[in-house]
Amino acid sequence: MKLDFATYKDKVMGCWAGKNIGGVLGAPFEGLRQVNDISFYTQDLSMGPPPNDDLDLQIIWLAAVERYGRNVNASILGEYWLSYVIPNWVEYGTGKANLRAGLQPPLSGLIDNTYKDSCGCYIRSEIWACLAPGNPELAARYAYEDAIVDHEGEGMYGEIFFAALQSAAFVESDKRKLIDIGLSYIPEESVTAAAIKKAIECYDSHVEFTEARRQIHNAAPGTFGIQGGTLQEIPVEGNEGMEIGAPGFDAPENVAFTIAGWLYGEEDFGKSLCLAVACGEDTDCTCATLGAVLGIISGASKLPEKWTAPLDDKIATLCIDKTSRGIWVPETVTELTERVMKAVPGFLGQDICDIFAEGGMTIECKEGEALYCRKTTDYLYKINGNGKDEALPVKDLCSLSPYVVRYSFPAFNIMVDYEGSVFFKAGENRKVKVTVTNSHTMRQQQWAKISVYMPGGVETVNGRGFCLPLNNLYGSKAEAEIEFNTDLFAESRLEFIVEVSLEGRHSSGAVKVTLMREA
């Protein structure tokens, strides 16, 4: 089906207006474990809305897309993260520290990151949904690239879930279908999926809302609401039977609180948002995300004026470094909407976006079953690869080991598997696995040459090079495990180069592997 220009613009504006409303509404109650009984904004908005990171981080991603288009990936987003993100708190700061140490995503979101399962990336899902409306597979794929900069596991699943759901919301309004579509993109066994299903179960069983809050929390106990004080200071009233979770394990329950607000709100915009806030914990995130979902479904033209008028279309930023230049920050929802729409043709390409359509630009969207995540098993392994998409389905992509780093080149792709650790230890041989696959557009029968360049003091045990067949059949790959010994290497940090080329082709690709000495 085709999404027409006017409808698309209305829904994009609805997304950002709803995001802004929810962020402002929930902000005063962020980080508190309590039941919040509210019905409207509690701040003085006479000077405009307060800043909120739920929206402004996505402006940084938009700037990256404006420059790199559909080629944007985790590595590029990581560069923008280092240059333009101000905060150093928890997962944001850990991701930056790991990037500065030379650890590529997803390692940057994994190593020493207690808050990898927290809420800092699922709040960034809307940009990908707005850039890929009605194409949840594409939106979720870019959400994955975004998430692994500073998150992993459950935190990542939250962003992928909402990116797929919100993208589908441009063409589908049934909340149950939208939730199912989002769930199809994340592992069934994930805690995020379990928490979402608990919210649905509570609603379908007519569980009273505050009891549903308790059950959802205990299905995926988080700690966002108790960060600000001691364990002894947690209020007893309203929190009876609430378990204490692990530090940083926050995304699953907050994602599910968003869904609970949506279900129990029963099509009432204000009631839904206020119920999301009522759950406590990361209230600006839950409420802002739900506001965006409802804004996409209704469009800006149908958002209640009661909620939009106090904000007067204005947005305020908090986390963007404006002193380094390179980022132009919009001041209104309207400006942000127009910038997103200008980026869409280059991001989607002419096969999806028709800028010359009669009556204005149209976007080709998926519908029905095509909105759900595809599966690797859709094709027989090693069957003729012509015409088949070799890209891993999103559910398989986010099920990869977080120690696998991916690189893309024009004719091939490389995956480097650190095999469970970024450390090496004297006296023990170390292994790293390198996998080469054909690119998605230049599949031919090839021979892949893998060359390894080690610094002095490091001895490769099984050779410095490999020449392996690389067919164009579905799922084909060339794979080599590099084994080496570091007994004579004295430095604390080991960096070596893996170069890949294809016989008979002029281009090659080199990637750097970075390991740290274990104490």
The one-letter amino acid at 56? D
- Say if residues 388 and 479 touch (Cβ distance below 8 Å): no
Model confidence band, residue 299 (pLDDT cutoffs 50, 70, 90): very high
Q: Above 80 in pLDDT, residue 445?
A: yes
Answer yes or no: do 318 and 418 share one domain: no
Answer yes or no: do 208 and 300 share one domain: yes
Residue 434: CATH number of its domain: 2.60.40.10
Q: How do residues 350-396 score in pLDDT, each as one tens digit?
A: 999 999 999 899 999 999 999 999 887 788 988 988 878 878 899 99
pLDDT of residue 53: 84
Number of CB atoms found within 10 A of residue 213's CB: 27
Answer yes or no: do 139 and 277 share one domain: yes
Q: Above 90 in pLDDT, residue 52?
A: no
Residue 367 resides in a domain: no
Model confidence band, residue 228 (pLDDT cutoffs 50, 70, 90): confident
Q: Average pLDDT in the 222-242 region?
A: 92
Q: What is the mean pLDDT of the chain?
A: 95
Q: Above 80 in pLDDT, residue 440?
A: no
Number of CB atoms found within 10 A of residue 163's CB: 33
Q: Average pLDDT in the 414-430 region?
A: 96
Retrieve residue 140's tokens. Answer: 């979720």
Quote the percentage of the chain above a pLDDT of 70.
100
Q: How do residues 245-260 score in pLDDT, each as one tens digit?
A: 999 999 999 999 999 9
Q: Above 90 in pLDDT, residue 424?
A: yes
Q: Above 80 in pLDDT, residue 110?
A: yes
Residue 75: CATH number of its domain: 1.10.4080.10
Retrieve residue 275's tokens. Answer: 């119920």
Total structural domains within the chain: 2
Retrieve residue 88's tokens. Answer: 């150093």
If you write DSSP's letter for every residue of 183-238 in order, what string do you get? HTTS-TTSHHHHHHHHHHHHHHTT--HHHHHHHHHHHS---GGGTTS-GGGS-STT
Residue 373 resides in a domain: no
**Spatial separation of the C-alpha atoms in residues 273 and 263, rounded to whole Å:** 11
Answer yes or no: do 350 and 424 share one domain: no
Answer yes or no: do 317 and 411 share one domain: no
Rg, Å, the chain Cα set: 24
Query: pTM to 2 decimals?
Result: 0.97
pLDDT of residue 321: 93
Q: Which of 325, 354, 383 is the last residue of a domain?
A: 354
pLDDT of residue 72: 97
pLDDT of residue 392: 87
Answer yes or no: do 340 and 456 share one domain: no
Q: Above 80 in pLDDT, residue 485?
A: yes
pLDDT of residue 204: 98
- Which residues form the domain of 458? 394-517
Answer yes or no: do 215 and 343 share one domain: yes
Model confidence band, residue 323 (pLDDT cutoffs 50, 70, 90): confident
